[in-house]
Structure 1
Amino acid sequence: MTKAHQILQNSMNNPTPLPCHLDQWGVIAVEGSDAASFLQSQLTNSVLGLNVTLIGKQAFGFSATRLIGYCNPKGRLLASAWLGLFSSGSDGNDRFILFLSKDIAASTAKRLSMYVLRSKVKVTDLSNEWVVQGLYGSDAQIAGIEVNANDIALRLPDVLVSEQSVARLLIAGPKESLDKEQDSGERLIVLNALEVLSAIPRIVLATQEQFVPQMINFESVAGIDFKKGCYPGQEIVARSQYRGAIKRRLQLAHVDGISQNDSPCVPGVELFHDKDPSQPAGMVVLAAQSPEDQTRIDMQIECKLEALENGEIHLGSATGPVLKIDVLPYPLLEI
């Protein structure tokens, strides 16, 4: 049994999965009587018709959670996020909560606020006041997690690891309600690896405005609604879909024999193909150390499709480590 399988198995055998602080995640709240129509006009996915989740309960499934993108007018992603609609149940005030990369939370909230105009909408970056935690385990374990009455919980899609389905949960709340846990190093490594292996991208500061959504498989992981109407960059996103203009895709890959501390394997690092080393062939989207091998880095990469046909793809430079391409966990929708 590898270390990764051991860590997962230990978690599955633990009646109550332990939380891990995810300092790379932030939270934005959008509320007000016009919040739904406002977000509908700004995001790649529809937010209308979302089921309301009570605070202290888990938002689960497409009816209650959505992967969304936020584009600039050129159709390039400024942000991606997991979104849910939550209510306290007492005052009847609902608010949308977006889980996204902390390093872009403030700029994303500021940009959204610029377009509120006269709408009755309030956009608040809660990332400095709230903490985000992650948990993983079996479906039954995660479903059984009791969430504090004042906290927000959103279930992420399960990840298949060695034919074992691993469930994941994000919990966010005020710092005082989510105590700092101890000895979470192994759990953080596993959670980061699970996110990479899900092949569902997350935009960070280094990759802002680099990708049209389809370049990182957004349409294949239910992050775009092509029937919802206008939003910034919508014409370019639609044209890319229906005119077959996308020649780049997100892939899973890994490199062996290096550690994340001494490698250039971080989001935004460019990739080079040995047949055309003069220009980049792609970019790292997300990367994480493998729990089973400290000298292996798993990653999501955005890459030219033609570069996958033959030759080698190198990390960081034309002479950098050679990437090994892995299998995606979902089928790509044809464009």
Structure 2
Amino acid sequence: MTNSSQNVPLQRNPGDFGFCPLHQWGLIFIEGPDAASFLQNQLTNSVLGLKRTLSPEIARTPSSVRLAGYCSPKGRLLASAWLALVPRDSASDDRFALFISNDIAAGIAKRLAMYVLRSKVKVTDASHDWSVLGFCSITNQVNSLTLEENQIGLQMPDVEVHNQMYGRVLIAQAQPSGAMEDQDRVLSTWNDLEVLSAIPRIVQTTQEQFVPQMINLESVAGVDFKKGCYPGQEIVARSQYRGVIKRRLSLAHVPTDQLNGASFDPGVELFHSEDTSQPAGMVVLSSHAAFVEDRIDLQIECKSEALEHGEIRLGSIDGPVLKLDPLPYPLIEI
């Protein structure tokens, strides 16, 4: 998965890359002899056959890392997560690590635990006991990254910006992250790469707003239509094969000098110039641009017809006009 832009890039400082604490990310562990079968019945993607990754090895390939959604019975996303199979040691039961938005981690862990019943599974929200870090840099440096014995990690898809490939690794460690130099600048880079990847992440303000296809989850390998049942599976499948979804995730940006105080946080509604009676979509993720001066980058969910013509405005019908950017991947046709 790649992303490109026609804007002139900034001169980058090496301090803009490296490690940073990710306080917006949380961690849930699902472990036990029945952990794989339990998650297989809960998530939109298959977890069976995931390769075991032992610390300090990093889970790097599609055979070791999966993106998945967790839906309500109505097929609406309660969460999205990156997951890897990271047992405590080679002799231990399965243990899955779900990297998830911190503001929903406790609620999702509690909900998953409700469905354990007689399964030999333990669900733990480890967000308070484990710190989540991010490492981002050019892909070659990310590919050579090594972790410490007390850390677990998974590599996310690369992102292309201005013809340069950047890699990202999510890391968890069972201790505080401590102080890091230039962490604000590194965090800014991490956040912008996440937005530019066009891979969505559900946060509290966007829970139950989207069927997976509305934010392209099936196009970024987050849905397996051949697996068995999970909450909302019938609705997700019907949306795919009957073509009833007419909304999509897109990338956009807005110059900061045009915001005029408008909020660009996830959940902020969007309006279309040709239909002022109701919102046309909402912000999924956003960040201050790290590669182009004085702009905000956004992932937006919007009606497909609104993306094709007219103006999309942020926050209100009189809000700033968003400029659309190309997606870094092809969409699976619905």
Asked if TM exceeds 0.5, the reply is: yes
The yes-or-no answer on 1:98 pairing with 2:98 is yes
Corresponding residue for residue 281 of structure 2: 282
The offset of 1:5, in angstroms, is 4.2
8 Å CA contact 1:252–1:298 kept in 2: the answer is: yes
The offset of 1:132, in angstroms, is 0.7
8 Å CA contact 1:41–1:230 kept in 2: the answer is: yes
With over 3 angstroms needed to count, the CA separation of the structure-2 counterparts of 1:89 and 1:261, relative to structure 1, is: farther
1:27-71 deviation per Cα after TM superposition (whole angstroms, max 9, x unaligned): 000001000000000000000000000111100111000000000
With over 3 angstroms needed to count, the CA separation of the structure-2 counterparts of 1:36 and 1:311, relative to structure 1, is: same
Letter of the 1:272 partner, please give it: F
User: Secondary structure at the residue paired with 1:156?
Assistant: strand
With over 3 angstroms needed to count, the CA separation of the structure-2 counterparts of 1:136 and 1:5, relative to structure 1, is: farther
Corresponding residue for residue 23 of structure 2: 23
1:228-277 deviation per Cα after TM superposition (whole angstroms, max 9, x unaligned): 01000000000000000110000000111348894310000000001111
Question: For 2:14, which of 10, 13, 21 is the aligned residue?
Answer: 10
Letter of the 2:131 partner, please give it: V
Corresponding residue for residue 301 of structure 1: 300
8 Å CA contact 2:54–2:90 kept in 1: the answer is: no
Corresponding residue for residue 82 of structure 1: 82
Q: How does 1:137-216 map to 2 (within 5 A)?
A: 137-176=137-176, 178-216=177-215
Unpaired runs of 5+ residues, structure 2, are: 1-6
Corresponding residue for residue 70 of structure 1: 70
The offset of 1:21, in angstroms, is 0.5
With over 3 angstroms needed to count, the CA separation of the structure-2 counterparts of 1:70 and 1:261, relative to structure 1, is: farther
Structure 1 CA distance for aligned equivalents of residues 285 and 292 of structure 2: 18
Structure 2 CA distance for aligned equivalents of residues 333 and 143 of structure 1: 29
Structure 2 CA distance for aligned equivalents of residues 200 and 4 of structure 1: 22
Corresponding residue for residue 242 of structure 1: 241
TM-score for the superposition, normalised by structure 2: 0.94
Corresponding residue for residue 50 of structure 1: 50
Structure 2 CA distance for aligned equivalents of residues 5 and 233 of structure 1: 44
With over 3 angstroms needed to count, the CA separation of the structure-2 counterparts of 1:11 and 1:161, relative to structure 1, is: farther
The offset of 1:183, in angstroms, is 2.5
User: Secondary structure at the residue paired with 2:53?
Assistant: strand
User: Secondary structure at the residue paired with 1:228?
Assistant: coil
8 Å CA contact 1:258–1:297 kept in 2: the answer is: no
Corresponding residue for residue 232 of structure 2: 233
User: Secondary structure at the residue paired with 1:19?
Assistant: strand
8 Å CA contact 1:202–1:285 kept in 2: the answer is: yes
User: Secondary structure at the residue paired with 2:309?
Assistant: coil
User: Secondary structure at the residue paired with 2:280?
Assistant: strand
Unpaired runs of 5+ residues, structure 1, are: none
Worse-matched range after superposition: 143-152 or 243-252: 143-152
TM-score for the superposition, normalised by structure 1: 0.94
Structure 2 CA distance for aligned equivalents of residues 193 and 4 of structure 1: 13
User: Secondary structure at the residue paired with 2:305?
Assistant: helix
Q: How does 1:91-130 map to 2 (within 5 A)?
A: 91-130=91-130
With over 3 angstroms needed to count, the CA separation of the structure-2 counterparts of 1:259 and 1:295, relative to structure 1, is: farther
Structure 2 CA distance for aligned equivalents of residues 318 and 303 of structure 1: 14
Structure 1 CA distance for aligned equivalents of residues 260 and 69 of structure 2: 30
Letter of the 1:179 partner, please give it: G
Percent identical pairs in the alignment equals: 60
8 Å CA contact 1:253–1:298 kept in 2: the answer is: yes
8 Å CA contact 2:15–2:182 kept in 1: the answer is: no
Letter of the 1:97 partner, please give it: A
The offset of 1:283, in angstroms, is 0.4
The offset of 1:94, in angstroms, is 2.7
With over 3 angstroms needed to count, the CA separation of the structure-2 counterparts of 1:95 and 1:259, relative to structure 1, is: farther
User: Secondary structure at the residue paired with 2:187?
Assistant: helix
Structure (1/2) with the larger strand percentage: 1
Structure 2 CA distance for aligned equivalents of residues 195 and 298 of structure 1: 10
1:144-183 deviation per Cα after TM superposition (whole angstroms, max 9, x unaligned): 222110211110000010111101111101124x433132
8 Å CA contact 1:86–1:95 kept in 2: the answer is: yes
Structure 2 CA distance for aligned equivalents of residues 282 and 202 of structure 1: 16
Corresponding residue for residue 3 of structure 2: none
The offset of 1:184, in angstroms, is 1.0
Structure 1 CA distance for aligned equivalents of residues 39 and 199 of structure 2: 21
Corresponding residue for residue 222 of structure 2: 223
With over 3 angstroms needed to count, the CA separation of the structure-2 counterparts of 1:155 and 1:209, relative to structure 1, is: same
Corresponding residue for residue 317 of structure 1: 316
